[in-house]
Every structure is written in structure tokens, then in C-alpha cells.
Amino acid sequence: MALDFPVIYLLPTFIDTDRFLELQGTIPTLTHDVNEADVVVANLSQSGRARFELRRLGLNTDPLVPAALSSDPGIIELDAPQRARRGSMSSDSSDTASEVDADELTTSPASVRRIITDRGEPVVRIVKLAWLTTSLERHVVLPVDEYLLYQGIRKEASEKTQRTEPNKPNLPNPSDIVARAQLDTPGQAPKSAFPHGYKRQHERTSPSSQSKRPRLLLETTSEHDIGTQLPPIPDYLHTTYSCQRPSPADPPNDAFIEHLKTIRTFRTLKNDKIGVRAYSTAIATLCAYPYPVTAVAEIERLPGCSAKIAAKWKEWKENGFLQENVDAENDDKLSVLKLFYNIWGVGETTAREFYNKGWRDLDDVIEYGWETITRVQQIGIKYYEEFLVRIPRQETAAIGDTILEHANRIHAGFQMVIVGSYRRGRQDSGDVDVVLSNPDENATAHFVEKVVVSLENAKFITHTLTLSTRNSERGQCPLPWKGEDRKPGTGFDTLDKALVVWQDPEFDHSKHSKNPNPHRRVDIIISPWKTAGCAVIGWSGGTTFERDLRRYCKKEKRLKFDSSGIRNRRDGGWVDLESDLDGQAPDLLTAEKRVFAGLGLEWRPPEERVTG
Ligand SMILES: *[C@@H]1O[C@H](CO)[C@@H](O)[C@H](O)[C@H]1NC(C)=O
Ligand SMILES: *[C@@H]1O[C@H](CO)[C@@H](O)[C@H](O)[C@H]1NC(C)=O
């Protein structure tokens, strides 16, 4: 016996395909057109999200507050007194219920209260999936009240409705991604929302430098008698250049450092360059400090750590959090900036631009700015959530292998280093960066196009965001240096590179109709052999290590370092540190070591360049 349901649209979001089909089969009054539905059933728990889903489907509504309904004279309630009885009855109401015309509604025997406003505007309601499943279980159409997520008056379809329809060309249903990105329940947030916690869980298990760390045994933590017990400051902390000291992963003050990093991110968003710099320096110092801090005085005496940082430490030690971060997280403007900043292809400057245009969420960017943002940013929005998901080491290694294999198929002799946080030993990464080079100089010229085409044909690359061939175009000659960058902070070298979106094309076609593998951000950097050591160093990071390396070259050596080579600041000429009497380096690691040696720096394994 079919239950007397209203016309129902089942929202596919967060219901797996099989279950979705199964559920659809249980609904006698199912519609595939949300515009026909009286009730939208959704596997959601939040009304904001529910309303968003309606918008995404092109159904614009004005919210109706449920509590206001019974007393609001503008609303006519239909069938309210009868609903319990009707609920247990079957009838042929499903035909008439599909009409949204107000006249029809007055005669509709729908068992769920059907409501219209006094002007006859139809109301649509979104209810939790449990309403449907529980009703089915009990063979009764339950009142929706306690399952209601949202209700609103339907508005006429607008321009926007058409523009956000799923199958529009140039707009590959980006709001779908936005919708997922806007999930605000912590349990559903991507792992990357907690990248550091995630990292630590895994990295704690690695023995790393733990055993090397001198242990400081303190019997007391009271501050006045600590002065004499403070551990010695390691000599290497007296340098102001973090490239001159070991900064291992997982330092003993990691937990505090994470809070400082959060401050730094917010300072970045606030365009506080001096603050960013100061926090970066303090973070780098603490990353290299081998003892767990036990006293305010212990931080204050560290080079690069001011009394301010010491005060932050004290606050964190006492409260477990920093008020500055709590305030920032609750700040509407900063939250919006952070959302935009997390779009791949959007830096802090663009995030502020978006904000200043009045945009407040990704949907605004799509609705009002889609045509004006770059293609890279469009892709960044399309894959907003996927790009925030961390990439495990194993997958990064597999991606590297595939790239190298294609490279060598095109031209034998390629060598590759997977750089970035992977090389620094992290258990997971935000994207994959690889540096490829070949001792045969002819092999690297205009190679980036070839390898991209090969990987596109093999369906690994789904989108090529940027293809830069500047290095090849000028004959792979290291560019003479022409003064400070016009755009400070871009930090972009002139190497040939392809910034692509990657997806493993292998999947079980019997289980999925569509490739379920996550999209990943991959950078393929091609360096001519003669400067490949610089490319490897420049792309290995960490950020403050790189900053200090450039500063060291400038201040101490009057050189200009970037990933495409080293120049002399006196005459702008290229300085070759990678060849010796026997010629060029035999491999990329040797090339890297020669650059360190040539700069008068001790070579450090990348796992000790974790400067934060
Ligand atoms: C509904 O969503 C939750 C969490 O997002 C999920 O665990 C559950 O399996 C979903 N229900 C169905 C029927 O797919
Ligand atoms: C590179 O190409 C140039 C010009 O085509 C050629 O003269 C040279 O021999 C090539 N070098 C190698 C190592 O193949």
C-alpha cells in the first residue's frame, strides 16, 4: 500500500549512488524536477546548506521562519488538523499534489501540511532524510516539523537560475563544488582543515631526530629558579639565516608553532607584511630549537623571538589557545578572506580584491565574477574541496614515477626529483612538485609541452592550467638579473613549467560510472641541466629556508638566487656553481650539493629544511 506522500524530490548530495536509486524506488510520489516538489528530502543537517542546495538547483526562495508560521496571518495552513489521520491513509493525492497552483492546493489532501502564503505563493520545504526513512519504516507519513531543515517561498526563476544550471557550457557545475566546500560541520570538513594534526599523527612514529635531542630534566617549572637551568642556545641559532642550521620535522615545540603559523596566516590576510616576517623568523627559530620550551625567559633569549612571542607562549601555555586566533576565526571578514585564499590560484591580494568587490562566498565569485577571474581560479573553485585534501606520500611517489616514465619515453636520460614538502619528509602534501632535467641540453628545450601532451593523451592530466615556456624561448640561457622583481613576493622563477590538474585514470568501471579518483594539483618543472641544482634547491623549500637563502645570497655574497640560476648582483651575469673541472654534475643531488658548497653553506638534507 503506497503511502500518501507529498511530491518529493530526493536530493542526491551525500547519498551514495546505489542507496540513492534504492531510496528513489521507495517514493511513490517522486519527481525528478525540483520545481514540482513540495518537499525536498536531503541527507543534510544544516539549514544554510539546505537553502544553498535549492539555489544550486536553480530554485530561488525567500526563507520562511517556521516558528513564525502558525501565528503569521499571511500563511494559510492546509490540512493541518487532519494530518495524523491522513497520514495513515492512502489516497490518489499524488496526481494533484504535483501542481503548485494555489487553487489546487486548497483541495489537496496531502498528509503533510501544505502551505501557501496569502498571495498564493507556493512554499517548498527541505526535510531531513530521516523523515522519509522513518515514515517508510513506520508505514505512516510523519509530520515534517521535527525534520524540517528549511522552508521558503519559491521565487520566479531569474537570470542566475539559468546560469547555474548544471549543464551549461563553460560552467561545469562549479557550485556543486562550492556546495561541498561550504560544508561547515567539522566532521565533514576535508582532512586538510587539520593538516597539522593529521601530519603529526603520522610523523610522530618516525624516529627522525628524536633520539639525537638532548633531554632536559627539570624538577620544577617555577620561573625564578629556572634561569640557571635553561639549556644552552645551540650555536647555529645565533645565525639569522635559517638556511645555516638544521630545522628537522616535528620539533619539540610543534604544538605552539602551529598556533604561531595560524597567526601568521591571519596576518598575511590582513596584509601585515612586517608581522608576517616577524612571525616567520620566530617560527623558523623555534623549528630549529631542540628543547621543549619550559619558561618565558627561555623564549625571550632566542634570536628572532621577541618578548611578544614569549608572551604568546605564556598565553598558550596557560590557556591552550591564543585569543588573537580565536578573534580572527570569529571575524567575518577574515573568514571570507581565508575562504578565498584557500582557492588554488588566489593569493592574499586577490582574496582582498574579491572581498572588496563585495563577494562573500564562492557562490558570489561564480555568480558575479566567473567571467572576470582567471581560468586557473575557475579550476581552483571547481576543485576547491578536492585540492584541500592532502596527498599521501605513496600517491605522490606514484605520480612522480608516471611523469618520469613518460619523460623517458619521449627522450631517454631524464632525472627527476620530487620536491616540495614531500622531499622535506612530510607524510602528505597539498600538491605535487617535480623537477625534471636531462644532461642533454637539447632534451629539455621545449620539453614541457611534449611531456604534457603525452600525459594528457594518457588521461592523467585533466586540465593544463599554465604552460610556461619562457626558458626554452630564450634558448635556456640563465636570464641575466635586471634588478629587483617588479612584482615583489611573486617568487616565480623563469623555468619552463606546467601547472596541471591530475587524476589517476584507472578505476573500476563495474563499480563507478565516473572516475572517483581525486583531482590533484601537480607542477612539472623542467630545468636545463646546467642550473638544475638551483631548481632542486629552489623548489624544495621550506618557505623561510628559501627566504633566508635569498637573503643570505644577497647580504653575504652579493648574489641573486632563484630556481633558474644564480646571478651576480654587480653585473647581473650568471654564476655557475654547478660545474667543476670535470664539467657538469653527474646527477641532480650532486648539482644541489655543489650549489650549497659554492655559496659557502653546509649542505643539509631536505628533511632538515623544515623551517615552517
Ligand atoms: C548521509 O550522510 C552521512 C554523512 O554525510 C553518511 O554517513 C550517510 O551514509 C549518508 N546517508 C546515506 C543514506 O547515504
Ligand atoms: C643539440 O642540437 C643542436 C642543433 O640541433 C645540435 O647541433 C647538437 O649536436 C645537439 N646536441 C646534442 C647533444 O645532441
Whether the predicted pLDDT of 210 surpasses 60: no
Residues facing 247 on adjacent strands? 609
Beta carbon of 220 within 6 Å of any ligand 2 atom: no
Strand order in the sheet with 61-63: 8-10, 39-42, 123-128, 148-154, 61-63
Q: Among the bound ligands, name the one nearest to the CA of residue 475.
A: 2
Query: Residue 195: what pLDDT?
Result: 30
CA distance 527 to 346: 26
pLDDT band at 31 (very low <50, low <70, confident <90, very high): confident
- Mean of all residue pLDDT scores within the chain: 79
Query: Residue 406: what pLDDT?
Result: 97
Whether the predicted pLDDT of 530 surpasses 90: yes
Task: Confirm if 526 and 444 have CB atoms less than 8 A apart.
Answer: yes
Residue nearest to atom 14 of ligand 1 (CA): 15
For the four alpha carbons of 295, 301, 305 and 309, in that order, the dihedral sign comes to positive
**Could you tell me the end-to-end alpha-carbon distance of the chain, in angstroms, rounded to an integer?**
64
Question: How far does residue 411's CA lie from ligand 2's centre (Å)?
Answer: 14
502: amino acid identity, one letter: W
Residue nearest to atom 6 of ligand 1 (CA): 14
Region of 553 please: left (phi>0), alpha (psi -120 to 50) or beta: alpha
Beta carbon of 61 within 6 Å of any ligand 1 atom: no
CA distance 545 to 550: 9
Query: Residue 503: what pLDDT?
Result: 97
Q: For residue 442, which atom of ligand 2 is closest to its CA?
A: 1
> Cell for 208?
627522525
Q: Which helix (H) or strand (E) holds 504?
A: none
Neighbours of 278 (CB within 10 A): 18
pLDDT band at 442 (very low <50, low <70, confident <90, very high): very high
- CA distances from residue 113 to 2, 65, 69, 109, 136 in whole angstroms, order as listed: 18, 15, 12, 9, 18
512/59: higher pLDDT: 512
Test site for ligand 1: of 11, 13, 14, 184, most ligand atoms within 8 A of the Cβ:
14
pTM (two decimals): 0.61
> Cell for 239?
645565525
pLDDT digits (tens, 9 = 90+) for 66-114: 544 443 333 333 333 333 333 333 333 333 333 333 333 332 333 344 5
Query: Residue 581: what pLDDT?
Result: 85
Neighbours of 543 (CB within 10 A): 15
Query: Residue 218: what pLDDT?
Result: 39
Test site for ligand 2: of 441, 442, 476, most ligand atoms within 8 A of the Cβ:
442
CA distance 429 to 427: 7
pLDDT digits (tens, 9 = 90+) for 121-180: 788 899 999 999 999 988 888 888 889 988 888 876 543 333 333 333 333 343 444 443
What percentage of the chain has pLDDT greater than the value 90? 54
199/555: higher pLDDT: 555
CA distance 257 to 292: 11
pLDDT digits (tens, 9 = 90+) for 344-355: 889 899 999 999
Range list of β-strands (E), 448-572: 461-468, 496-502, 520-528, 559-562, 565-568
Of the candidates 58, 86, 46, 229, which has an alpha carbon nearest to the alpha carbon of residue 158?
58
Indicate the length of the chain as a whole number: 612
Region of 407 please: left (phi>0), alpha (psi -120 to 50) or beta: alpha
Residue nearest to atom 14 of ligand 2 (CA): 442
Beta carbon of 558 within 6 Å of any ligand 1 atom: no
Query: Residue 481: what pLDDT?
Result: 58
Q: Which helix (H) or strand (E) holds 126?
A: strand 123-128
Query: Residue 10: what pLDDT?
Result: 93
Q: For residue 441, which atom of ligand 2 is closest to its CA?
A: 13
Query: Residue 117: what pLDDT?
Result: 64
Average pLDDT over residues 296-321: 92
Lowest mean pLDDT among 395-404, 490-499, 564-573: 490-499
Average pLDDT over residues 359-366: 93
Average pLDDT over residues 190-196: 31
